[in-house]
Amino acid sequence: MQHKHTTFVASDGHKAQITVFLDTMQTDSEVQQYFRIEALNVRHLRYFTDDKFLGYHKLQDELAKYYIGDGENIIYYKKQSYRNVIVVLYKKNVENFVIPEEYKDKQFILEADIPSTFGCLNCIYWRKNNRVCTYYKKMGMDIKQNCVDFRQKEKKVPRKKKPAVPVAENQVDRTTQIKLDRIADSLGITITELMEQNGNDIDQIIDKYNRGELRLLNE
């Protein structure tokens, strides 16, 4: 497998970053895919190779997009994982198979959150409200800073507050709307004509009507 130049991008200090290189080759009987993983910080590899971290599952989902097997002509039969290399093997049921270009010499970059601790507060098994560990099935536990059975949880995304809906100047509540309807009906005109003839001050219109002072322009 030919070694390629490693590319990294600027990363958040609380994130781990890797670059994955894909090579696909074949023999007479099988197709082999090699996914080589390189990290800017080698200590961050574990966030993508240990299934207790979300980065591992993110990587597996991304790798699946590049699997060449079709279940008919190219059939998956084995996956081997090493420290920073994943090898996926397929059996060939077709002669003169040509590897598509999209499976050759590919690379992509992945990032994953680094948990602040490997203890209860960042673990999917921990229920903060009632201090319960669903893995050990214990209640009222003391919070651990480190745990061998730690499983990283996703960060909660804060809900976005819905923006306040601006109230139009001529928008009125239901009770006021009913009053305006009654006033307009009693005068034999529409609400629009009522507002045009008496201004847009709704409180003043209602007050004048109650005092018997509301008049139409053609009276």
Residue 101 sits in the same domain as residue 55: yes
Residue 100 sits in the same domain as residue 25: yes
Model confidence pLDDT, tens digit, residues 79-101: 999 989 999 999 999 888 999 99
Asked if residue 105 lies in contact with residue 4, where contact means CB atoms within 8 angstroms, the answer is: yes
Question: Does residue 184 surpass a pLDDT of 90?
Answer: no
Residue 101 sits in the same domain as residue 121: no
Of 52-56, 98-102, 179-183, 198-202, the poorest mean pLDDT is in: 198-202
Strands (E) across the chain are located at: 15-26, 30-39, 74-81, 85-92, 106-113, 126-127, 132-133, 138-139
Residue 94 sits in the same domain as residue 138: no
In Å, how far are 3, 134, 135, 137, 143 from 129, measured between CA atoms?
50, 13, 16, 15, 12
Model confidence pLDDT, tens digit, residues 30-60: 999 999 999 989 999 999 999 999 999 999 9
The total domain count for the chain is 3
The rounded percent of the chain whose pLDDT value lies above 90 is 48
The CA distance from 127 to 120, in Å, is 9
Residue 42 sits in the same domain as residue 53: yes
Residue 219 domain-assigned?
no
Residue 25 sits in the same domain as residue 98: yes
pLDDT category at 216 given cuts 50, 70, 90 is low
Residue 169 domain-assigned?
no
Q: What residues contact 145, with CB distance under 8 A and at least 6 apart? A: 117, 118, 119
Residue 61 sits in the same domain as residue 131: no
Residue 39 domain-assigned?
yes
Residue 87: domain span: 15-113
Residue 216 domain-assigned?
no
